[in-house]
Amino acid sequence: MSFLAYLAGCLFTLAGVGAAVVAGAVLRSRLLPGWSGPVAWVATALLAVATAIGTSLVLGTFGLFTAWSWLLLTVILAASIWRWQDRLPTARARPEIVSVPATPGLTMVGTAIAAGAFGAFVAGIVERLGTGMTGFDSTWYHGPFAAGIAQSGDTWSLHFLAPQFLSWFYPQNSEVIHAIGMAGFGNDLLSIFINLAWFSGCLLAAWCIGRPYGAAPLSLAGVALVIGSAAMADQAGEARNDIVGTFFLLAAVAVMVNAAAGGRRITLGPLLVVTLAAGLAAGTKVNFIPAALVLLAGAVVLSEPSRRLRNSLAGSGALILGGGYWYLRNLIHGGNPLPWVNHIGPLSLPGPDQDVGGRDAGSVWGYLTDLDVIGDWFLPGFGDGFGSGWILLGLLAIAGLVLCLERGSGPARRTGAFVGLALVFAWMVAPTSASGPAGEPNGFVSGLRYLAPALAVCMALLGAGVGQRGPGARWVIAGLLLILAPVTIAVGESWDIKTWLVAIVVGLATWSSLLLALGVWRIGSRQQRLSRKGARKVLAWTGGTVLILGILCGFGVQRYYFDNRYENPDFTTPEIAAAILWADGQQGQSIGTIVTRQYPLWGPELDNEVQFIGVPGPHGGYVEAETCREFVDAVNAGDYDYLVLALDREGRTLERPREVDWIIDDPNLGSVSARESDVVFSLDGPLSATTCVN
């Protein structure tokens, strides 16, 4: 990417993000009048993200989403909201939010733990800068969904992938954000860094949850340990969306806790922000739906009794606005908003008539009475996911739940605890939380990413629960968190000295920056208004300088990235690795494939059109071709330039896919190279079913 193209992408991103933030700030000022500081920043970020996603979906519904159409609509919307903000309704004002400063010592400990987790996460991103996104889910569906939206401009149609888990029905709020970056830069450079923003947002929201109780650093450190653990390490530099939904839930709890601190009822403004955040979480991942419904119910209960009916309707509308788009799309295409659910008791529901496929299904719930599986798989698995101190981490999370379920904790923190319980339940019943052969749930560790959001909520509530127990209790928890940090924060086994250096330097720089920023802000808060303005100016100038330096340094980073992106794709089979290397040099090609992890085939500029070759069925179904004729018809219908046909599983018994045997003698099929392990074939015309070898 040339410097001008890179600079244009940066300017596009800054303009789009700036417009969304302006819209979010104005809406926050109307919904949460009088709010300021970190919790106001969280609310502004939520509303800005909702603005960015909302404008994308409006355009994408009609196939009109492009970089320029999105930027134009977002700027017009932000300008309109700014121009006519006085005409927008304003929520009833409440007294200033409660803020109890933590002691300097507690702040130093909490920020040190958070900075360590942040440094390790950045180190994980540095690894992906040298490889490209290699995670299974990123290359299977997150990446293709985002690239497909950016390429086609369409969010409404189903993007059919390998027929596993009916993945094309998944909600895609997270992928829309990636698509915005892909459209703006013409590549996936921003996707490597997007989860770092969500990581930072989780930490900020955690701080806000403990802030009314003088324990913000404890909530910050607790959440940092969870999202910095091995269970969430694969979020760094990838398009995984578990951390995205975690941010939305933490942000919702943060707004709710701060709105209700001091025993207050919450008004319509905070309720709308909370339920919108809940909807954004449900529109990110299906397993966040129970937690979203708990947040809706809790927000209504926290309202004035006379306003509960109105607020329940308004909150339901905000929840649907945040995530209902994808379930409405599923209903229209498949006849069922949740096509994975075929029956409710005796009632049959419409949906694709096909097996879910993928890994052998298995849930933690199904193994709760199997002591052998618990001892041989679950207990060691917790250690793999959350470090050797996982028992202490679990006890602290449970303590956070218990403290916030007490009668004296208030309905807001109690709702947060029920959110945590809903997330635990969703993890336990998820069909992939303990996937694998019967009695051998080898997918348990991978499934811990469904439990991590629950632990994050519980650890954030731990600070809120222990904050009122006095300084002694706070320091006990701080000491335990400090003990957990070195055995919980994940470091890569393959880290070299350079990666370790990045983690250490970034961690130290982050810690010092946090302490400096908090110090400047507190000094400004204690002085007159002029001094507070001065503090804001210092932070603004510092942030602007860092931003400019970051953009300049980023040009060298992106050159390094594209020099190394999928240069050595050793994360898959040798045959597919050869196809990835071939695709890296292609532009604007139409590629049909039977490979599950298809994202690298899109090419560095994401302009190859890649499609899994399958057979559409009723109610949005999509299955593999079972006969040669079906496969030939599907290939001809796709009008592809090339086919990538390979077995993408280790331990396979066949030498090559059956599809190759079916069509290998077709005169219009050509091999791209002369090796026996060829997996890339060119098409000089339609295939003929008469050449099928059965």
Q: 491 and 379 in one domain?
A: yes
pLDDT of residue 436: 87
pLDDT digits (tens, 9 = 90+) for 273-311: 999 999 999 999 999 999 999 999 999 999 999 899 999
Structural domain includes residue 487: yes
What is the residue range of 81's domain?
3-133+159-328+358-543
DSSP code at position 156: S
| Domains: count for the chain | 2
Q: 539 and 593 in one domain?
A: no
Nearest to 450 by CA among 384, 372, 370, 363: 363
Q: Kindly report the number of other CB atoms within 10 A of residue 614's CB atom.
A: 21
Query: 611: helix, coil or strand?
Result: strand
Structural domain includes residue 555: no
Query: 492: helix, coil or strand?
Result: coil
Q: Please enumerate in sequence order all residues whose Cβ is within 8 A of that of 540, keeping only pairs 6 or more positions apart, or say none.
A: none
Q: 319 and 192 in one domain?
A: yes
Q: Which long-range contacts (CB under 8 A, 24 or more apart) does 324-330 make?
A: 324/279, 324/283, 325/57, 325/155, 325/283, 326/170, 326/171, 326/172, 326/173, 326/283, 327/171, 329/156, 329/158, 330/169, 330/620
**Gap between the Cα atoms of 216 and 149, Å rounded:** 39
Q: 590 and 511 in one domain?
A: no
- The answer, yes or no, to whether residue 409 has pLDDT greater than 90, is no
**Gap between the Cα atoms of 248 and 45, Å rounded:** 10
Q: 184 and 117 in one domain?
A: yes
Q: What share of the chain is helix, strand, coil (3-state, %, to 5)?
A: 65, 5, 30
pLDDT digits (tens, 9 = 90+) for 321-342: 999 999 999 999 999 999 998 8
- 116-146 burial by CB neighbour count: b if 16+ within 10 A, else e? bbbbbbbbbbbbbbbbbbbbbbbbbbbbbbb
Q: 680 and 614 in one domain?
A: yes
**How many helices, marked H, and strands, marked E, lie in the chain?**
26, 9
Residue ending a domain, among 489, 522, 543, is: 543
Q: Kindly report the number of other CB atoms within 10 A of residue 597's CB atom.
A: 25
Q: 91 and 34 in one domain?
A: yes
Q: 593 and 511 in one domain?
A: no
Structural domain includes residue 559: no
Q: 296 and 412 in one domain?
A: yes
For tokens 């809790």, name the residue. Answer: 298
Q: pLDDT grade, residue 674 (50/70/90)? A: very low
What number of residues does the chain have? 694
Q: 613 and 507 in one domain?
A: no
Q: How far is CA 537 from CA 25, 311, 541, 543, in A?
A: 18, 39, 6, 10
Structural domain includes residue 512: yes
Structural domain includes residue 65: yes
Residue ending a domain, among 524, 543, 562, is: 543
Structural domain includes residue 552: no
Q: 172 and 77 in one domain?
A: yes
Q: 214 and 294 in one domain?
A: yes
Structural domain includes residue 120: yes
pLDDT digits (tens, 9 = 90+) for 643-653: 999 988 755 56
**Gap between the Cα atoms of 571 and 573, Å rounded:** 7
> 175-184, 371-380, 432-441, 535-544: which range is least confident on average?
535-544
Residue ending a domain, among 543, 564, 583, is: 543
pLDDT of residue 346: 76
Q: Please enumerate in sequence order all residues whose Cβ is within 8 A of that of 674, keeping only pairs 6 or more positions apart, or say none.
A: none
Q: Kindly report the number of other CB atoms within 10 A of residue 457's CB atom.
A: 34
DSSP code at position 609: E
pLDDT digits (tens, 9 = 90+) for 428-469: 999 889 988 888 999 999 999 999 999 999 999 999 999 888
Structural domain includes residue 129: yes
